[in-house]
Copies of this chain bind each other. A is one copy, B any other.
Amino acid sequence: MFVDVLGSVAGAITAFTFLPQVIKTWKEKSAKDISLSMFMIAASNNILWIVYGILKSDWVIILTNAAVFSMAVTMIVLKFRYNK
């Protein structure tokens, strides 16, 4: 029981890992120090996890990685826009 709650909490936090960086970059309009390749690798990896989740019919994996994917793509857009 405790371990399932722990997994759900950790999964929920994982889904929003990139959110603080999205907010900071959005506010400060500066992304020079941000690694584009990190977010490109992360976004591609999320796609692998989403396919994995579909094959396993595991909605937690699908939804967690869809959330991370949307934020990784947002960071890629912000990086191109505010790369000065």
Interface residues of A, Cβ cutoff 8 Å to B: 2-3, 6-7, 9-10, 13-14, 16-21, 23-25, 28, 30-35, 37-38, 41-42, 44-45, 48-49, 51-52, 55-56
Interface residues of chain A: helix, strand, loop or mixed (majority) = helix
Number of copies: 2
Q: How far is the CA of A11 from the CA of B45 in the complex (A)?
A: 9
Q: How far is the CA of A2 from the CA of B20 in the complex (A)?
A: 35
Q: For residue A37, which residues in chain B have a CB less than 8 angstroms away from its CB? A: 20
**Known contacts A41-B13, A45-B13; is-contact A25 B20 (Cβ 8 Å):** no
Q: How far is the CA of A38 from the CA of B37 in the complex (A)?
A: 17
Of the A-B pairs whose beta carbons lie under 8 Å apart in the complex, a sample of 6, sorted by A's number, is A6-B52, A16-B41, A18-B38, A21-B38, A25-B33, A32-B33
